């Protein structure tokens, strides 16, 4: 397993769920992974699993993506240490709560938009040059079927993912003549904390587990990947 050997990969929301699964898979494929999340304990658990499997540690960066200036600081730190970034995975997402549009809490709306849209814009803004410095930069963002199919009470989440898709597809067009490739992944129904928030009574043991969707991330992260500006289904 060396499809990402020597690649430098940054993964947001890597303390659990899909982010943690992708981090472990990337590390198993030979990448050095830089992991961000708000939960230090979760990051350490992911790092422990990576070390146990590979004998190497990840770089852990406790970070609230809503503190946008710290994203810029992280970009500068990666530039100083590595001089480039090969893979960016914008995985972190927020649901907050479900509710009717007319009564949705403005503060929760802002949090969803901050994490799902603005933070990813700031990641692009901060890491574009580092990704272009790679011989085969790859950026992958996590979307949802809610971006294209409206559901009652899901307006902030659906609107945020629709905005994310438009932004990422536009970015993909802008970098098409470079070595950088930019895509989105729709993981489908996966057993995650966000899914549990939306469907609290659901038996998550019967759902697709995060490890099962990690392969699609590897495919889009490989230097040989030629796809650009696509929404790729993980299942």
Q: What is the pLDDT of residues 4-18, one digit of tens each?
A: 999 999 999 999 999
Answer yes or no: is 62 within a domain: yes
Q: For the domain that residue 55 is a member of, what is the CATH number?
A: 3.40.50.720
**Threshold 0.75, pTM exceeds:** yes
Read off the pLDDT of each residue in 31-46 and give the average, rounded to a whole number: 97
Q: What is the pLDDT of residues 182-235, one digit of tens each?
A: 999 999 999 999 999 999 999 999 999 999 999 999 999 999 999 999 999 999
Q: What are the catalytic residues?
A: 157
Q: Which domain holds residue 106?
A: 8-233
3-state secondary structure the chain: CCCCCCCEEEEECCCCHHHHHHHHHHHHCCCEEEEEECCHHHHHHHHHHHHHHHCCCCEEEECCCCCHHHHHHHHHHHHHHHCCCCEEEECCCCCCCCCCHHHCCHHHHHHHHHHHHHHHHHHHHHHHHHHHCCCCCEEEEECCHHHCCCCCCCHHHHHHHHHHHHHHHHHHHHCCCCCCEEEEEECCCECCHHHHHHCCCCCHHHCECHHHHHHHHHHHHCCCCCCCCCEEECC
Answer yes or no: is 3 within a domain: no
Answer yes or no: is 1 within a domain: no
Answer yes or no: is 128 within a domain: yes
Read off the pLDDT of each residue in 25-44 and give the average, rounded to a whole number: 97
Read off the pLDDT of each residue in 91-102 and give the average, rounded to a whole number: 97
* Residue-level pLDDT at 158: 98
Answer yes or no: is 89 within a domain: yes
Number of domains into which the chain is organized: 1
């Amino acid at each position: 397993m060396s499809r990402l050997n020597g690649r430098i990969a940054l993964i947001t929301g890597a303390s659990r769920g899909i982010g943690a699964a992708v981090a472990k898979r990337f590390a198993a494929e030979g990448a050095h992974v830089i992991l961000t999340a708000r939960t230090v304990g979760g990051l350490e658990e992911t790092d422990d699993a990576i070390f146990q499997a590979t004998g190497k540690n990840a770089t852990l960066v406790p970070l609230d993506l809503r503190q946008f200036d710290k994203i810029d600081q992280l970009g500068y730190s990666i530039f100083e240490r590595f001089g480039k970034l090969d893979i960016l995975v914008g995985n972190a997402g927020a649901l907050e709560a479900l509710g009717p549009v007319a009564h949705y809490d403005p503060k929760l709306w802002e949090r969803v938009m901050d994490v799902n849209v603005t933070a990813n814009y700031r990641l692009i803004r901060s890491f574009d040059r580092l990704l272009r410095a790679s011989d085969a930069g790859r950026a992958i963002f996590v979307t949802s079927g809610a971006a294209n199919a409206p559901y009652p009470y899901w307006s902030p989440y659906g609107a945020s993912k629709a905005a994310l898709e438009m932004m990422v597809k536009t970015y993909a067009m802008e970098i098409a003549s470079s070595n950088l490739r930019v895509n989105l992944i729709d993981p489908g129904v996966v057993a995650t904390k966000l899914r549990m928030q939306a469907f609290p009574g659901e038996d998550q043991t019967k759902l697709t587990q995060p490890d099962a969707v990690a392969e699609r991330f590897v495919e889009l992260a490989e230097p040989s990947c030629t796809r650009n500006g696509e929404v790729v289904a993980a299942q």
